[in-house]
Every structure is written in C-alpha cells, then in structure tokens.
Chains A and B, each alone.
Chain A
Amino acid sequence: EEQLVESGGGLVQPGGSLRLSCVASGFSLNSYWMHWVRQTPGKGLVWVSRIKSDGTTTTYADSVKGRFTISRDNAKNTVYLQMNSLRAEDTAVYYCTRDNDWYFDLWGRGTLVTVPS
C-alpha cells in the first residue's frame, strides 16, 4: 500500500525551529515532485513548498520564503521541511503530498505544528 507518514510536529516558541519529515512507503519517491501543504485548524488548504524529483529545484510560498527549506533524501524515501523563525501564523497541520502530473494523488495524515502567540 502506498503511504506517506509525516512526523516532527510539536509545540515550539516563536522564533524557534522544527524539522518535519515525510516518509514514503509502497512506492519510490524518486519519481515524483513532492509538496508540503498546510491547514490552519478550521481553515482551508494552503500550499507551502515543493521539490523536484531529483532535488534540484525548489519553490516556496511567499509567506515562508527565506524561513523554510524543503529537501529530500531519495535513498531514505524521505522529504523534509526545515522551518526556522517560526511565527504564530505558521500554526497548522502540515501535510506531505505527492505530485502526479500537477495534481496531488496521495496525502499523508499530517503533523501539527503549534506556535503560540
């Protein structure tokens, strides 16, 4: 069964850092672009970042540019999101999702990041 499992969320003080991980199983990550999408509790989906299958290209939403870094280790079938200088408005559930020709066909269950105000 194809699956994505996120981890690394938690409570962090403003200005702090967290690294999220997304481990893929049941398929090989190295064929796919991968994305992070977040959702503030009770709100909608917001795209955060993406990384090309070979890791050579990354893109970020303006709201996280310069603070977040996406990376991947295809040998470990894992995608990461390094989050620095965290703010209260970064509080959300962070989902890892697989890009299959510009649509997201597989999602993880998400990991909650809480930054108190």
Chain B
Amino acid sequence: SYEVTQPLSVSVALGQTATISCGGNNIGSKNVHWYQQKPGQAPVLVIYRDNNRPSGIPERFSGSNSGNTATLTISRAQAGDEADYYCHVWDTTTACVFGTGTKVTVL
C-alpha cells in the first residue's frame, strides 16, 4: 500500500515561514491536498490539488508538489496557525491515504 510520511512536528517563529513536507514515492504525479486541524475541531481544507486555496484561506498558505515530496508553506506564521496538518492523496481510485500528520508550533 502507498505510504505518505510527514515530520512529527515543525516549529516556527512568529512571523516567519513554516514548511511541512509530505513524502511519498513519485508523489509529484498525484494531486495532494492539505488539511488543518485544531484541537477538538474537525479538519479544514487549506490547499487542494497541490497549490489551490479554497475561498477564505489566507494567501499565506501555499503548496507545491514535485518528485517525491509535496510541501505546504505557511508564510508570516501567526499564533492562530498552530494546528495539526495532514496531507492527503489517492493512490488509486479506491485507495485514500492521509499523511501521518505534522504538529505546527508557533514560537
């Protein structure tokens, strides 16, 4: 089965840039989606199809995907960005895979 790995945690200084990786074999050939989940809340879509932002998501959130790594970038990090972040791909049309999740801490 397809596996997708993320760092367990990422720390970022207030106002700086955080990057969260999502690694998988040839993941660049797949569409990658990203979700933000704050404690006690449901996930929220922040990036879809590699680099598209849903309405209401700040421009500070961006994504890229190439080779074996997809990346979520949070620019000008704010305290409100503290959350768990999950990447999501479909390995085949029936195999839905989530990444292991990354806890982002804003210092």
Contact = CB atoms under 8 A, between A and B. Distances in A.
A32 interface: no
- Would you call the interface of chain A mostly helix, strand, loop, or mixed? strand
Contacts of B49: 103
A45 B98 contact: yes
Interface of B: 31, 33, 35, 37, 41-45, 48-49, 54, 86, 88, 90, 94, 96-101
Interface of A: 35, 37, 44-47, 50, 59, 95, 97, 102-105, 107-110
Contact of B101 (A45, A105, A109, A110): A45
Nearest to A59: B94
26 contacts: A35-B96, A37-B98, A44-B86, A44-B101, A45-B35, A45-B86, A45-B88, A47-B96, A47-B98, A50-B96, A95-B42, A95-B43, A97-B43, A102-B31, A102-B90, A103-B31, A103-B33, A103-B49, A103-B88, A104-B33, A104-B45, A105-B48, A107-B43, A107-B44, A108-B42, A110-B42
Contact of A44 (B54, B90, B100): B100
A47 B45 contact: no
Nearest to B48: A103
